[in-house]
Structure 1
Amino acid sequence: MRTQASLELGQHQQLALTPQLRQALGLLQCSSQELDLEIARALAENPLLQRDEAVPDAAAVQAEMLARHWARPASRTVPDDMPESPAAQTLAEHLLQQLHTTRASVRDQSLVSLLIGELDDRGRLDYDPAAYRAVLPTDWDVPDEEWLAALRLLQSFDPAGVGARDLAECLRLQLRARAAEWPAPVLALALRLTRHLDDLAAGRWTKLCAALACDRAALEAARQAILRLDPHPTSAWAQDVAAYVVPDILFYDTDQGWRASLNPALEPRLRIAPDLLARIEGDSPAPGLREPLQQARLLIQQLGQRRQTILRVAECIAQRQQAFLDQGRAALRPLGLRDVAQALELHESTVSRATRLKYAQTPWGVIELKQFFATGVQTDAGEDASAQAVQALMRRLLADERPEKPWSDARLAELLAGQGIGIARRTVAKYREAMGVPAASLRKKR
């Protein structure tokens, strides 16, 4: 076999992220606390920058109007005089700390970091490589095998069960991590039993013995192994974040419906120091200040773009979720990042960054903007209801069940169908697990 080197000329289009664009995207995805740190660093490094303490008259009027509207904030907000509590390590920080001790390449660490950022409050992952690719640089070609390797690395971290895609995988990860606690036959049977959780919860022992080709004693040993596991292994890191944050967005009601405004208290205002600016623009320009001036102007411009983008996204959310703001979570409508991106002619990754760790004050408490994005469920009337709205309805139904005879998933599906929500029993089970509600056999009051 002979090889021959050759040179070829070709043209192709590729979006290159300039340092300025990377900085703008970084500022957009910053939380208010992270932005404060970035501004503090810029003020320390650039002598031309200073905080602009003067609030424009329009902003002052708006702030006063919003303060009157939210004179009685939701119970989940925090008084201004509440002392700041020491920051505990978050789950993401705990996982990133482990990631940095591995020998993974910079590229692999980037992929795992992205997955860590996608974990939900239970440490579970809605695994969707196609969606992740949208936020990567355009020149990154990440095959499915590489995403899977990144997932496996994440799932090897403590606590065992983190990064699972569902409850069954969460339990299997814990079983493998604690394999030494059980004899090999018990471990093997318990791993297989995790694929029959519905039957296990319902106590269908005969069916399980037949499906797993085992006797009742072996099944009981495997069941006891599973009962020693934690379905929520990341609960030690669960924090009620909304109770400790000041909202970035204020939703307020008007005669024309709900609108959104940036919280004036969190808007960073910078300006170029007038005395130094006069020296630069005077007859004898001060040496060495031209580049800091350019950087200062760029940062001020980028902060303005950040405010505009976040406000546009929040306004679009308010327009699409009017029913939720009026009626609560049960009225949340299906909404995707793509819907907002198309309406505003933005990229989906831009909308994702604009809603990352941004919180809104609503009549129903302080809510992260990402919670307004909900998947849809088709109703019998041909309309769409969000998965969160269905879960809210399920909570109402579960509140009325009899403790001695709780409703099964099949019965819940029937009750939902009676209210126009036609979904399968398996979907009901999925939503119930997401709500942290045990199966009927475990809720039964004996």
Structure 2
Amino acid sequence: MTLAPRLQQSVKLLQMSALEFTTAVEHALATNPFLEDADEQDADPPAAAPSSVPQAPGRQEDASPETPVPATDADPPPPDAPAYSGDYPTRASGDGGMDQAQWACASLSMRQRLSQELGNYHLKPRDRLLAEFIIDALDDDGYLRTPLTALCDTARPEFDPAPEESEWMTALHLVQQLDAPGLAARDLAECLTLQLAAAADAQPRIQALALRIVRDHLQRLAKNDCAGLRRLLECSEDELREACALIRGLDPKPGGRYSADAPAYVIPDVFVDKWHARWRVLPNRHAMPQARLHQTYADLFRRARLDDRSPMAQELQEARWLVRNVEQRYTTIQRVAEAIVKRQQTFFEYGDVALRPLMLREVADDLEMHESTVSRATVGKYMVTPRGVFEFRHFFSRELATESGGSCSAAAVRALIKEMVDAEDPAMPLSDVALTQQLAASGILLARRTVSKYRGQLRVPPAELRRQH
């Protein structure tokens, strides 16, 4: 099937995230003379919330789940509406306010940081170039996975004569001295060794013991073989415990800290709060440009009686399409959000353990939409709630049977597993079999391999790696 141009634009706008949508509309405002920004001057809710900072105010008392109330112009936020603290990026207001995101400094990448620090050293051009080659070859975790022989082949055209292995090793050791310890390591053992060597506050005896473990017995440490390590290292239990704690406090991926320097921001599409014992959905329109038809230019064009097939006529048509499709996008996302809140009200009261099974088809049937439309309206769309910032997709989870004949969601089961792990005895962590048995005691019958899969999705290590002596 071939979609009409207006329908193509509608589908494209709906599947965009808020940030992509904002960029697309701002581009249209800048290039189409028949569009203008109808940014309102009313007070707005916060325009963006950081995905990494969940808000968790206490659950309101004497509250009963009700149908979510859509926001209207006649229904402003109450004075006691939930506040979402933090200096979040917002669009510039009509009073000349500055976009707060413009105040943030651009964070340097790992390679930029290392190159910048390399500039503090007085080096010969040849030595500096060798170090730059190594910096460019680092992966995102900060490791040098490329063998030096392969670097020699790559760099050969740049040098005359070709660098010797000793020159590469000198450059490598220099890069390993830059910024965070552990960078430019060729494997995990070398990464941890570099960090231990830089641990100035460690006790010499414990530091030497940790170095021996990292260099010679890393596999035994991974298996938590404490008895074998004590036998091989001939040390006391307390010394081994301190050495293992020192190693576990190191960073196995030192390059990851650079990508985490800047906070991850999302622009929420809606806000969900409780007012008068009802959950309601408030659109976050003012975080994004408000496009409308520039009526003065449209009237001038109409009076000019130009050819309907002229480029200006095409731009006017596209402007009308954009205005209608933008409004349709807001309406669709609002309706989908209200349908989600209506079905997941127990989540807003009690958290993840109360998430009920929900499929896209249920929302599509209720709203009389196609399932693909609901799918586009949930991917990359976020809502700010009293329990944190969640993607719409968080509320969709497949159904699992229970012993009583009822059902629960896979997300609720994952939440239960997380609660069990958090409450376990660190000296005797729960195995996957034990977790399966505890779930069965709660009436949730799952195979052990399913529990193992859910535990892995939660990024919880196996029991033998969680055991603390």
Q: Please, which of 24, 30, 36 is the counterpart of residue 50 of structure 1?
A: 36
Q: Which has the higher contact order (CA 8 A, sep 6+)?
A: 2
Q: CA deviation at 1:391?
A: 1.4
**Alignment partner for residue 274 of structure 1, among 295, 313, 318?**
295
Contact 1:242–1:367 under 8 Å retained in 2: no
Partner of 1:433: 456
CA contact (8 A) 1:249 1:359 kept: yes
The letter for the 2-side match of 1:342 is D
Indicate yes or no: 2:11 matched with 1:25. Answer: yes
Once the two structures are TM-superposed, the CA of residue 350 in structure 1 deviates from its matched residue by 1.1
TM-score normalized by the length of structure 1: 0.58
Identify the residue that residue 328 of structure 2 maps to in structure 1.
305
Partners of 1:50 and 1:315 in 2: CA distance: 30
- Which residue identity is paired with 1:293? L
Q: Mind listing any 5+ residue stretches in structure 2 that lack a counterpart?
A: 44-70, 91-99, 110-186, 188-221, 226-251
SS of 2:443's partner is coil
**244, 258, 261: which one aligns with 2:279:** 258
1:332-364 Cα offsets, whole Å, 9 max, x none, are 111111221222222222111111211101111
Change in CA separation of 1:248 and 1:341 when aligned onto 2, cut-off 3 Å? same
Q: CA deviation at 1:239?
A: 6.3
Partner of 1:321: 344
Partner of 1:157: none
Q: How far, CA to CA, are the matches of 2:397 and 2:258 in structure 1?
A: 24
Q: Which of 241, 247, 250 is matched with 2:268 structurally?
A: 247
Q: Could you report, residue by residue, the CA deviation over 1:4-35 in whole angstroms, capped at 9, with x for unpaired residues?
A: xxxxxxxxxxx322332221111001111111
Q: 1:260 to 1:85 in 2, by over 3 A?
A: farther
Provide the aligned length of Structure 1 versus Structure 2. 293
Task: Give the RMSD, CA atoms, in angstroms.
Answer: 3.5
1:95-106 correspondence runs (5 A): none
Q: 1:351 aligns with which of 371, 374, 381?
A: 374
Q: Give 3-state SS (helix, strand or coil) of 1:281's partner.
A: helix
Instruction: Give the structure 2 partner of residue 382 of structure 1.
Output: 405
The answer as to whether partners of 2:401 and 2:444 remain within 8 angstroms in 1 is: yes
The question of 1:402 aligning with 2:388 is answered: no
Counterpart of 2:355 (choices 323, 329, 332) is 332
Deviation of 1:420 (Å)? 2.2
User: What runs of 5+ residues in structure 1 fail to find an aligned partner?
Assistant: 1-14, 90-177, 179-199, 204-230
Distance of 1:247 and 1:67 partners within structure 2: 21
Q: Structure 1 residues 334, 400: CA separation in 2 closer, same or farther (over 3 Å shift)?
A: same
Q: Distance in 2 between matches of 1:354 and 1:386?
A: 21
1:73 corresponding residue in structure 2 = 84
Aligned-partner Cα distance in 2 for 1:87–1:352: 34
Q: 1:84 to 1:55 in 2, by over 3 A?
A: same
Per the alignment, do residues 307 and 55 of structure 1 end up closer, same or farther by CA in structure 2, a change over 3 Å counting? farther
Aligned residue for 1:36? 22
On the 8 A contact 2:13/2:21 being kept in 1, the answer is yes
Percent of residue pairs identical: 37
SS in 1 for 2:377: helix
Question: How far has the Cα of 1:394 moved from its partner?
Answer: 1.3
C-alpha change, 1:239 and 1:369, in structure 2 (3 Å) is: farther
Structure 2 CA distance, aligned partners of 1:393 and 1:36?
Answer: 38
Q: Secondary structure at the match of 2:426?
A: coil
For the Cα contact (< 8 Å) 1:358–1:368, is it kept in 2?
yes
Task: For residues 172-215 of structure 1, give each alpha carbon's deviation from its aligned partner in whole angstroms, at most 9, with x where no partner exists.
Answer: xxxxxx9xxxxxxxxxxxxxxxxxxxxx9899xxxxxxxxxxxx
CA contact (8 A) 1:201 1:439 kept: no
* Cα distance change on mapping 1:441 and 1:237 into 2, 3 Å: same
CA, structure 1 residues 379+308, in 2 after alignment: closer, same or farther (shift >3 Å)? same
| CA gap 1:332/1:417 in 2 versus in 1, 3 angstroms | same
Aligned partner of residue 436 in structure 1, secondary structure: coil
Give, in angstroms, the shift of residue 267 of structure 1: 4.7
Shift of 1:408: 1.0
Deviation (angstroms), 1:276: 1.2
Q: Paired residue for 1:105? A: none
DSSP-derived class of the 2:282 partner = strand
User: Which amino acid is 1:281 matched to?
Assistant: R
Counterpart amino acid of 1:377?
L
Post-superposition shift, 1:407? 1.1
**CA-to-partner distance for each residue in 1:261-286, whole Å, 9 max, x for gaps?**
2113235322222321221333x435
SS in 2 for 1:47: coil
In structure 2, the CA distance between the partners of 1:385 and 1:238, relative to structure 1 (3 Å rule), is farther
1:169 — aligned with what? Answer: none
Change (3 A) 1:335 1:363: same
Rounded Cα–Cα distance in structure 1 between residues aligned with 2:319 and 2:414: 48
Q: How does 1:171-320 map to 2 (within 5 A)?
A: 244-255=265-276, 257-282=278-303, 284-285=304-305, 288=310, 289-320=312-343
Q: Answer yes or no: is the 8 Å Cα contact 1:377–1:384 preserved in 2.
A: yes
The 2-side partners of 1:325 and 1:238 are apart by 32
Pair member with larger Rg: 2
Q: Which AA in structure 1 matches 2:351?
A: G
Deviations 1:199-253, CA, capped at 9 Å, x for gaps: x9899xxxxxxxxxxxxxxxxxxxxxxxxxxx99x97898699951231111122
Higher mean C-alpha deviation, range 248-257 or range 50-59:
50-59
- More helix by proportion, 1 or 2? 1
How many angstroms apart in 2 are the aligned matches of 1:381 and 1:238? 47
